[in-house]
Chain A
Amino acid sequence: MIHARGLTKRFGEFTAVDGIDVDVLRGEAFGFLGPNGAGKSSTMRMIGCVSPPSAGTLRILGMDPAADGPAIRARLGVVPQQDTLDLELTVRENLLIYGRYFGLSRALVRERADELLDFVQLTDRAKDKVEPLSGGMKRRLTIARSLINDPEILLLDEPTTGLDPQARHTLWDRLFRLKQRGVTLVLTTHYMDEAEQLCDRLVVMDKGRFVAEGSPRELIARYSTREVLELRFRADEDISVYGEKLAGLVERIEVLPDRLLLYTDNGDRTTEEVHARGVRPAGTLVRRSTLEDVFLRLTGRTLVD
């Protein structure tokens, strides 16, 4: 579906995407993870055929964006990072006219618009102007809009940023159903739980390059341990002192502003060893490793800063 080799995007001197290779297969859910400025959106825009690559090859649905942009875009659904809704139109009109841009008949567009409004639970706002909608509602409308042409590939740039937890879960459920219907999903996210829930495969991006690639499970196995012991301390304590005290206890220790993360295969045993070294944290928590830990390891940063 998507095939890229050495894909590069430069803005003047600055290289935002630095020669990445990707293949996304039909029906797959593929995720781009990375800190701010990693080049996720730049990559998505190139895939969406609204930003010409500076170098490398890119094939989408077997076609070249430079030559067949309109034909490719006809089969894509796009949720940009920032909503680009038509503020001069009502909620329903936004869907109607967007469908028309794809050359769909008025009757078909009307039918789909009503279905999609229902799908994102905005039916009762159909006649309202877009401007006064809440951020989450606008996001949902953008998502509905991206589906108006029944796309084969759906590009979602941080789809659930700004949604409340309930809306996020509903959206995940909808996306999961789309995937079951065979729609290929490509998404970027800052939420690890989102990536673990939705993605079959993902890449971690940093400074325009891929730093890791695989399924969520593989990445955790490769870059983290089975369990993580979190030690919390009081705010007035100097955490790095404890970090030094515990050095060598486990394979890797991560020092965060408010806590220590100890990567271990047996959290309970490590807890005992911590106590044995005379360290008395205010709280301890043993949890399973998540993608968040992978991310921290690979980029040295937490995701949401």
Chain B
Amino acid sequence: MTAATREPSRPTRDGSAGLLARVIALPPISPRRAGYLVERTWLITRHTWLIIVSGFFEPLFYLLSIGIGIGALVGTVTVDGQLLDYTVFVAPGLLASSAMNGAVYDSTFNIFFKLKYAKTYDAILSTPMSAADTAAGEITWALLRGMFYSAAFLLVMLALGLVASPWALLALPACLLIGFAFAAVGMAATTYMRGWQDFSFVNLAVMPMFLFATTFYPLSTYPEPLQWVVACTPLYHAVELVRGLTIGLVDASLVVHVAYLAVMGLLGLRVAAGRLEKLLLR
């Protein structure tokens, strides 16, 4: 009971910053207790590690087919007046997308099963663990797993000479942030799902983002109004953040991407924790 807990109350200031602080104010989370849930998943992973390893190959295959295969046809792309090899351009897009995909998968299908069928959380909540601890623990796991994939992918990029700047080192924490944002929102969405059929909505959100949110070609391809639409999607910010870092185009816009993803994650976490409590503590 003595664990450090994050206080839900934040200083309330006037204006939008104060409002934002209140909206994303989290219930108290004990990192120690959230850690126990990570431990649980780790125990399970020891039985199923092969599945985990297999998850690494999907983005790799995309990189080989689209990056190298199609890259040979496309040649180069221009970003901010800079001429880039298509493979160099598309690799960070694939990295960011796979961080999203992994986090969404972990936090929707897996969590729905545990919530509705396995009754895993019913047992957990009869211990000192709180709903917020549980949500944080699950999201942390999704992050750790995502980090493993991202690191492996970055190494492949490095080996293939697709990393253009030492800033790329920061792509790893950037992927963590992307994972956090999508896992938290995915989990929040999952708590609203009534049955497996609702998962088609997940694909409906994720698939078009993957295809259209500048993963494969620059934003300038679109006419002006469409550019605005695309710029609102979370994957756009994720892709642009990672791409900025790996190609070494570092400017103030990266801060906007980081802020977008951070707020998205905190909001998701808050909703997820609240909803878990509603669903399970009846």
CB-CB nearest in chain A for B32: A103
Interface size on B, residues (CB 8 A): 24
B130 to chain A, nearest CB (A): 6
User: Are A50 and B126 within 8 A (Cβ)?
Assistant: yes
User: Are A102 and B128 within 8 A (Cβ)?
Assistant: yes
Q: Which residues of B contact A93 (CB under 8 A)?
A: 43
Q: Which residues of A contact B33 (CB under 8 A)?
A: 101, 103
User: Are A73 and B126 within 8 A (Cβ)?
Assistant: yes
Q: Does A97 make an interface contact (CB < 8 A)?
A: yes
Contact bitstring A155-186, B, C-beta under 8 A = 1, else 0: 00000000000000000000000000000000
A19 to chain B, nearest CB (A): 19
Q: Which residues of A contact B282 (CB under 8 A)?
A: 11, 51
- Of A11, A87, A103, A149, most buried by chain B (CB within 10 Å of CB) is A103
Contact bitstring B1-30, A, C-beta under 8 A = 1, else 0: 100000000000000000000000000000
Pick the contact of A48: B39, B118, B126 (CB < 8 A).
B126
User: Are B281 and A84 within 8 A (Cβ)?
Assistant: no
Beyond A52-B281, A70-B1, A84-B119, whether A98 also contacts B127 by CB under 8 A is yes
Q: Does B158 make an interface contact (CB < 8 A)?
A: no
Q: Which residues of A contact B36 (CB under 8 A)?
A: 97, 100-101, 103
Q: How far is the CA of A149 from the CA of B127 in the complex (A)?
A: 9
User: Are A101 and B44 within 8 A (Cβ)?
Assistant: no
Q: Which residues of A contact B44 (CB under 8 A)?
A: 88-89
B74 to chain A, nearest CB (A): 44
Q: Does B129 make an interface contact (CB < 8 A)?
A: yes
Beyond A89-B44, A97-B40, whether A50 also contacts B280 by CB under 8 A is yes
What class of interface size applies to chain A in its complex with B?
Answer: 20 to 34
User: Are A101 and B127 within 8 A (Cβ)?
Assistant: yes
User: Are A101 and B124 within 8 A (Cβ)?
Assistant: yes
CB-CB nearest in chain B for A74: B128
User: Are B119 and A97 within 8 A (Cβ)?
Assistant: no
Q: How far is the CA of A121 from the CA of B40 in the complex (A)?
A: 24
Q: Does B122 make an interface contact (CB < 8 A)?
A: yes
Q: How far is the CA of A103 from the CA of B129 in the complex (A)?
A: 9
Q: How far is the CA of A82 from the CA of B120 in the complex (A)?
A: 12
Contact bitstring B122-161, A, C-beta under 8 A = 1, else 0: 1111111110000000000000000000000000000000
B119 to chain A, nearest CB (A): 4
Interface residues of A (CB under 8 A from B): 11, 48-52, 69-71, 73-74, 76, 78, 80, 82, 84-89, 93, 96-98, 100-103, 149
